Amino acid sequence: MTVRLMIEQRFCGPPGCGNGGYVAGLMVQHSSLRLRVRLEQPIPLQTPLELDEADGGSLELRAAGRILARAKPAILELEVPEAVNYLEALEASRQFIGFERHAFPACFVCGPDRARGDGLRIFAGKLREEGTVVAAPWMPDASLSDGAGKVRPEFMSAALDCPGYFATHTAGVPMLLGEFTAHVDRCVHVEEPCVILGWRLSLAGRKHEVGTALFDGEGELCARARAVWIEPRSHER
């Protein structure tokens, strides 16, 4: 069965492309399995897309017959740091490097150029100067509602995306999301004060592996993700 999708302009990451976490969140809603999404090509905006089921419960996202992303069944193993409170996350967000330099300032998730009620405005900064964990406060607005007062799953997925990039501490080097494996335990409420953490897991050449987690206003873990971010070759270490 083919599902037809289109990524609206609002949900961009890099200019002209869909935000990776948002795209992954849309894809996995069409499966009962936990999936690892591999983004193989930039996802165009305002373009008809087709999502097809492949062998073994996998999914393939295409545009005009060209494969853009694949999703395959996966296990998510991730040890999550202890939650911090909203005020601690708010203080950490003051250290957000994107306020001074940002590769994609119009990004739906972390772009400082996006207005409230338009972008998610999740600004993850170092939790402690000597640490590797970043944190951000987030209060989802009504435009993200599922109609029953909760945030739609694709926006939960999007919120787990960019904090992982800022956990790499690469000082604004532009990178692209390569792989994303997320699990949403439950969707938070609209206007609920939430906290998002991001932390480094490993570095291998141009590949940065990170974890992210989203907590509700009571400090309960609601969603988590493991991701791989890819540096351009010009920045290879």
5-50 confidence digits (pLDDT tens): 999 999 999 999 999 999 999 999 999 999 999 999 999 999 999 9
Please state, in angstroms and rounded to a whole number, the distance separating the CA atoms of residues 198 and 223.
Answer: 12
* Cα-based distances in Å from 11 to 46, 50, 134: 10, 18, 23
Per DSSP bridges, beta strands 207-215 and 221-230 are antiparallel
Cβ burial of 25 (10 Å; 0-12, 13-18, 19+) is buried
pLDDT at 171: 67
pLDDT digits (tens, 9 = 90+) for 160-176: 999 999 999 876 788 99
The pLDDT value given to residue 173 = 82
Q: Identify the segments of the chain with pLDDT beneath 70.
A: 130, 171, 234-237
Delimit the domains of the chain by residue range. 2-73, 86-235
9 Ramachandran zone, left/alpha/beta (phi>0; psi -120 to 50): alpha
> pTM for the complete prediction?
0.95
Query: In DSSP terms, which residues pair with 202 in a beta bridge?
Result: 209
Torsion sign over Cα 175, 180, 184, 190: positive
CATH number of 2-73: 3.10.129.10
Within this chain, domains 2-73 and 86-235 share the same CATH topology: yes
Rounded CA-CA distance 212/138 in Å is: 14
pLDDT of residue 174: 84
CATH of region 86-235, choose from 3.20.20.210, 3.10.129.10, 3.40.50.2300, 3.90.1010.10: 3.10.129.10
At 237 the pLDDT is 45
Beta carbons of 25 and 158 less than 8 angstroms apart? yes
